[in-house]
Structure 1
Amino acid sequence: MYILGYDVGGTKISAVIGDEKGKILKKVYRRTTKEYGKSGITSELIEMGEELIKTSGIKEIYKIGIIFAGPVDAENGIIISSPNIIGLKNYNITKELENHFNVKVYLQNDASASTIAEKLYGSAKNLSNFVYITLSTGIGGGIFINNKLYKGAHGMAGELGHMVIMPNGPVCGCGRRGCLEAIAGGRGIARRVIENISAVKNSTIFSDMNPADIDAKKIFAAKKAGDMFAQLIVEETIYYLAVGIVNIINILDPEAIIIGGGISMEGDDLFRPLKLAVQEEMKSMKRPVKILKALKNGADLACIAITEYKEQMLQ
């Protein structure tokens, strides 16, 4: 039984064909156009889906999953608002695809969907209580409590990046000051370098770099190359992340924290010091909480996972 999945993000849209066991057969990409609007995004998704079905050599699809970078009403298949694509506010994106492909279509926020993928296909298979954190341009996440995705009273649980770590710190995109995302998300890490570069003279790499070209990946690379300024920024970032993670641990007492997103690709350069920092930050509240790396292809599997999870919940 083949499943068609879409990942609608701020910079790209991907579509995959996979099965319920999490095997991905084929994948295509398109660059996101901010001016799609309702008809434009719908036409793009239909075209990508038809292309995949044809080139994969399959006869039919069983269901469709869409993950979206923004707040959604998953129960009703509605995009509540769209930070990256104009004109999608309160849009029922599932209805048109259901009419075209004649199968059930499921919608979920991308961070929540990745959390579900970890439960079905990743290191959370045997866990009942865990938290997933995505470290990318921003910071998001999802929470499983007693084997169920925790949605909250308004379906917006898991906004982990918007806990305040530094009162009166930098302004976050949400409007508050000192959120974890504003300090330790990819954009926040780069901002801390750009704002301090003129005051710090011992950087051997960033002093001659165009500020617009500085990002989290380059900062971690500079740290590996021995740049003292980059090392300071990375160490600060890990401390802020540890503070946020320990806050989550103290509130929810999970079995594990699973970390994904682009910054997680730094591997041991992130995870080794982060685990030590979390242990140190827990002080007298220590407990055996694992810090685990997320699936490498979590976004692809998330499209598939939301369809399987939803049907399991309906049984």
Structure 2
Amino acid sequence: MGVCLAIDIGGTKIAAALVRLVGKHVEVSERMQIRTPQNPDAEALEKALSDVLKHFAEQFDTVSVASTGIIRDGILTALNPKNLGNLAFFPLYETLRKKTDKPITLLNDAQAAACAEYLAQDDIENFAFITVSTGVGGGIILNRRLFTGTNGVAGHIGHSLADPNGEACGCGRVGCVEAVAAGRAIAREAAKWQSPCEPPEVFERFRAGEAQAVALVDKSAKAIANLIADLTINLDIQRIALGGSVGLAQGYLGRVEHFLAQLPAIYRPQIVLAHYAQDAGLIGAAWWAANCEKP
């Protein structure tokens, strides 16, 4: 492939870089980062994207964007559109098309991260990436291809069922994995403690062996272990990369593996920690531009 202008739209920042892929070799250059417009509306985001494209003018052959939410028919939305505020139903493709005549590809940010993490693996066919952070998301590679589904929602694995009697999830369902395992869920429960704290301190107390913190982290880890088992038995996943601020927290992977070890071997794929950090969305977006099936 030529040079891809990869853009990663997050809740707090918009990152961009020029990415060149040669086989599994990745070259990332000319990184830039700007703040995502606060309380953004369509006009503010359009200006921010225009600024990025102008900054890289005449330096790229394709544009690929990874964004939070769901991208369906070029429109940005979400399972819970309220999460996007004034950006719900933002015409992402048409906005970019007005600014450039280069080929454009779009995908969800967790799907992009899955593409990047797959690039870091050896020769496997079926792979999944799970991010456990403020929320829980992921991406799925089947037969060496990113599986997005007809409506772009494939990989929203945080909205699989963990506890039918659990907490309400922002998507409108009760008991999603995200409502049990995510950083937001950990924060919600820790706020009820006699000595309340934020998730980073929860993990400090967990590593110190404090029973209340161990129980809370284990609740999250068990939900993720069961999610991994479900993905494995349903999709024949060979390896899973675990990422996100919770997923990468010291000691968390060990607890996930502890609960997986209690299940039959058929439910236990190889688990690795995510390889890429802040560049995962950018690298994955570029990989998708090179490997997605064009119309």
User: In structure 1, how many angstroms separate the alpha carbons of the residues matched to 2:54 and 2:95?
Assistant: 14
Does the C-alpha gap of structure 1 residues 231 and 288 become closer, same or farther in structure 2, counting only changes over 3 Å? closer
Report what 1:292 is aligned to: 272
User: In structure 1, how many angstroms separate the alpha carbons of the residues matched to 2:171 and 2:40?
Assistant: 24
Report what 1:93 is aligned to: 92
Whether 1:184 aligns to 2:181 is yes
Q: Deviations over 1:177-209 (max 9, x none)?
A: 2211011011011112123x03xxxxxxxx2x5
Alpha-carbon contact 1:34-1:86 (below 8 Å) kept: no
User: In structure 2, how many angstroms separate the alpha carbons of the residues matched to 1:2 and 1:130?
Assistant: 26
Q: Deviations over 1:16-64 (max 9, x none)?
A: 222224321132222223432222111101213333x37xxxx521111
Report what 1:227 is aligned to: 210
Whether 1:161 aligns to 2:143 is no
Please point out which of 231, 250, 260 is paired with 1:278: 260
Report what 1:35 is aligned to: 39
User: In structure 1, how many angstroms separate the alpha carbons of the residues matched to 2:172 and 2:93?
Assistant: 31
User: In structure 2, how many angstroms separate the alpha carbons of the residues matched to 1:37 and 1:14?
Assistant: 18
* Local SS of the residue matching 1:241: helix
Cα offset for 1:138? Answer: 0.7
User: In structure 2, how many angstroms separate the alpha carbons of the residues matched to 1:39 and 1:294?
Assistant: 35
Q: TM-score, normalised on structure 1?
A: 0.82
Aligned counterparts, 1:1-315, within 5 A: 1-21=2-22, 22-51=26-55, 53=56, 59-73=58-72, 76-81=73-78, 83-119=82-118, 121-123=119-121, 125-195=122-192, 197-198=193-194, 207=195, 214-215=198-199, 217-267=200-250, 269-280=251-262, 282-283=263-264, 286=266, 289-297=269-277, 298-310=280-292, 313-314=293-294
Alpha-carbon contact 2:260-2:268 (below 8 Å) kept: no
User: In structure 2, how many angstroms separate the alpha carbons of the residues matched to 1:296 and 1:222?
Assistant: 27
User: In structure 2, how many angstroms separate the alpha carbons of the residues matched to 1:25 and 1:77?
Assistant: 27
Gaps of at least 5 residues in structure 2 are none
User: In structure 2, how many angstroms separate the alpha carbons of the residues matched to 1:97 and 1:158?
Assistant: 25
Q: Which amino acid aligns with 1:89?
A: A
Does the C-alpha gap of structure 1 residues 304 and 154 become closer, same or farther in structure 2, counting only changes over 3 Å? closer
Q: Deviations over 1:133-160 (max 9, x none)?
A: 1111111112222222223343322221
Does the C-alpha gap of structure 1 residues 301 and 189 become closer, same or farther in structure 2, counting only changes over 3 Å? same
User: In structure 1, how many angstroms separate the alpha carbons of the residues matched to 2:154 and 2:226?
Assistant: 19
* Local SS of the residue matching 2:14: strand
Q: Which amino acid aligns with 1:122?
A: A
User: In structure 2, how many angstroms separate the alpha carbons of the residues matched to 1:34 and 1:48?
Assistant: 17
Q: TM-score, normalised on structure 2?
A: 0.87
Cα offset for 1:228? Answer: 3.4
Name the % identity. Answer: 26
Gaps of at least 5 residues in structure 1 are 199-206
User: In structure 2, how many angstroms separate the alpha carbons of the residues matched to 1:11 and 1:253?
Assistant: 35
| Higher share of residues assigned helix | 1
User: In structure 2, how many angstroms separate the alpha carbons of the residues matched to 1:96 and 1:152?
Assistant: 23
Cα offset for 1:97? Answer: 2.3
Q: Deviations over 1:244-267 (max 9, x none)?
A: 221222222211122122223225
Larger Rg over CA atoms? 1
* Local SS of the residue matching 1:292: strand
Alpha-carbon contact 2:233-2:266 (below 8 Å) kept: no
* Local SS of the residue matching 1:189: helix
